[in-house]
Structure 1
Amino acid sequence: MTLTIGNQLKAARALAEVDQKWVAEKSGVSVNTIRNMEARGGEPITSGAVTVKKVQTALEAAGVEFLPENGGGAGVRLRKQAPA
Structure 2
Amino acid sequence: MNRVWSLTGHKPRELQIPPLPAGMEYLPGLFWECKRTSEPLTWQELQAWSRLMDRKLDPEEYRALMKMDAIQCRVAHEA
Normalised TM-score (structure 2): 0.29
More helix by share: 2
Q: Between Structure 1 and Structure 2, whose CA radius of gyration is higher?
A: 2
Higher relative contact order, structure no. (Cα contacts within 8 Å, ≥ 6 residues apart): 1
Normalised TM-score (structure 1): 0.28
